[in-house]
Amino acid sequence: MIQLDSGNVLLKPTHRKQVMTSLRRAARIGERMGNFVLQITMKRIGKAYEVILSVRDAAGDFRVRMKRHDWRDAVRDLARMVCVKLHDQKLGMAF
């Protein structure tokens, strides 16, 4: 399950769709592991955007934080990092 809290960031419906699409692979990996919850919190701080991802699944939980000038860059970088961490957790569960 993916939960999006946009905070003080105004997102259009198409922007919400872009965020969910960029995290689709992470969601698939997490669902295979079981008990998957991905919570996204977005904040605007001055001219920058801070995006925090909290991931909880059967293998454990972790948090990743990114601060960028554009929310799309932050979400894209976080999606890549989360996929790598989830993949590592999945491999750790196998052994």
Sequence-distant (≥ 6) Cβ neighbours of residue 58 within 8 angstroms? 33, 34, 35, 36, 93
Q: What is the pLDDT of residue 78?
A: 94
Is 38 in contact with 54 (CB distance < 8 Å)? yes
| Residue 95 pLDDT greater than 70, yes or no | no
Q: What is the pLDDT of residue 34?
A: 87
Is 33 in contact with 93 (CB distance < 8 Å)? yes
Q: What is the pLDDT of residue 74?
A: 94
pLDDT, tens digit (0-9, with 9 covering 90-100), for 5-51: 999 999 999 999 999 999 999 999 999 988 999 999 999 999 999 99
| Residue 76 pLDDT greater than 90, yes or no | yes
Would you give the DSSP letter of residue 47? T
Instruction: Judge residue 4's burial from the number of C-beta atoms within 10 Å of its C-beta, 0-12 exposed, 13-18 middle, 19 or more buried.
Output: middle
CATH number of 2-94: 3.30.160.100
pLDDT, tens digit (0-9, with 9 covering 90-100), for 41-70: 999 999 999 999 999 998 889 999 999 999
